[in-house]
Amino acid sequence: MASKPAAGRSPGEKRKRVVLTLKEKMDICRRLEEGESRRALMQEYNVGMSTLYDIRAHKAQLLRFFASSDSDKALAHRRTLHTPKLEHLDRVLYEWFLVKRAEGVPVSGPMLIEKAKDFYEQMQLTEPCVFSGGWLWRFKARHGIKKLDASSEKQAADHQAAEQFCGFFRSLTAEHGLSPEQVYNADETGLFWRCLPGPGMEGGAGPGLRQNKDRLTVLMCANATGSHRIKPLVVGKCSGPRAFKGIQHLPAAYKAQGNAWVDKEIFSDWFHHIFVPAVKEHFRSLALPEDSKAILLLDSSRAHPRESELVSENVFTIFLPAGVTSLIQPMDQGIRRDFM
């Protein structure tokens, strides 16, 4: 039996080409998973069966984009997942943006353009690219970024979510009998180790001199009492810096990564081979029971693996909600300055 034509279309009329938004495509994926009829969806969205199959085939890409998007408005208007011309630069810039947002640092359009130019030079790219206002608009639309400027810092901090999380965490520590000795926080920060101080009362780089932007990433971690500070992890670009020649013991662990950033692989290695053994050794020195629990608080940076991957016996990880790190993450309250 032939199916009925879609509403508003006569039997002999050719179906008009429809380009769905990413939000509509995600809704279709969800409804297909719930077992809804394909034919009903075809009639509702006025698309063919091949379109439904194509949408379902790209479900993983849609989920990744939705998970990393900052604005629902962009999702409701964007229709494609086309990759940018300089895909690696685009990815590195977006990861930098996410790190700054997790730290509660406001990022404006001109800041994004300048950072993109910096990365372009650091990567020694040769493909022409004009970092114009149009480029910025496409970058923000591609990643679902809403307008961010200096005046939006307070808006970015979610006070209600911070209060809710504090209530949840108090209940959790009371339920499991956790003391401040057993609660840890870790966070990354950039160290521009060859950059001179800015101009001011104490001097600094002279006019016309370009600041050196050689950078390391430093991961620091301590417990709530401050009695246990984990050996810092330093991430640089070189796998075997000449400065290390002849040095037997470093006051920090060192890893190499192409952009001198902490990635998921490096963080997972740090958690299982540095953090967990150090916590267990500290608990033994305090004569705490072998089954004592430890909690590691982390922000929701994309450099961090999932919570389920950061578990080792009685050592667990809890992620802070988005938009609260500038309010309640301990390492954002001046601790990192004292660490350094």
What is the 3 state secondary structure string of 73-121?
A: HHHHHCCCCCCCCCHHHHHHHHHHHHHHHHCCCCCCHHHHHHHHHHHHH
- In angstroms, the Cα distances linking 89 to 245, 300, 309 are 33, 22, 28
* Bridge partner list, 254: 234
Query: pTM of this prediction?
Result: 0.54
- Would you state the pLDDT for residue 202? 43
pLDDT digits over 227-274, tens only?
899 999 999 888 777 777 777 788 888 888 888 888 889 999 999 999
Query: What pLDDT is stored for residue 201 in this prediction?
Result: 39
* Angle at alpha carbon of residue 117, lines to 112 and 120, rounded to 5°: 125
Question: What class, spelled out in words, does domain 157-194+213-242+249-339 have in CATH?
Answer: alpha beta
Query: For residue 43, which amino acid is it?
Result: Q
Tokens 């849609």 correspond to 62
Other beta carbons within 10 Å of 29: 18
Say what the pLDDT of residue 23 is.
79
Q: What's the rounded Cα separation, in Å, for the pair 215 and 241?
A: 14
Strands 294-298 and 315-319: parallel
Q: Which two tokens stand for residue 275?
A: 């953090």
The type of residue at 62 is L
Please give the pLDDT value at position 282. 92
- The pLDDT tens digits of the residues spanning 113-161 come to 888 888 888 888 888 888 888 888 888 877 767 655 434 444 456 788 8
Give CATH superfamily name and number for 87-154.
Homeodomain-like (1.10.10.60)
- For residue 2, the model assigns a pLDDT of 44
What is the model's pLDDT at position 90?
83
Other CB atoms closer than 10 Å to residue 85's CB: what's the count? 12
**Cα-Cα-Cα-Cα dihedral sign, residues 52, 54, 56, 61:** negative
Per-residue pLDDT tens, the chain, 340 aa: give them.
Answer: 444 444 445 555 555 667 787 778 888 888 888 888 888 888 888 888 888 888 888 777 777 666 655 455 555 556 566 556 677 888 888 888 887 776 667 777 878 888 888 888 888 888 888 888 888 888 887 776 765 543 444 445 678 888 888 888 888 888 888 889 999 999 888 887 777 665 543 444 455 556 666 788 899 999 988 889 999 999 988 877 777 777 778 888 888 888 888 888 999 999 999 999 999 999 999 998 888 899 999 988 778 888 888 888 889 898 888 777 778 788 877 665 554 4
Q: What percent of the chain has pLDDT over 70?
A: 76
- The order of strands in the sheet holding 253-256 is 253-256, 233-236, 216-223, 183-191, 294-298, 315-319
Any idea where the domains of the chain sit in the sequence? 22-77, 87-154, 157-194+213-242+249-339
Residue 54 makes CB contacts below 8 A (sequence gap 6+) with none
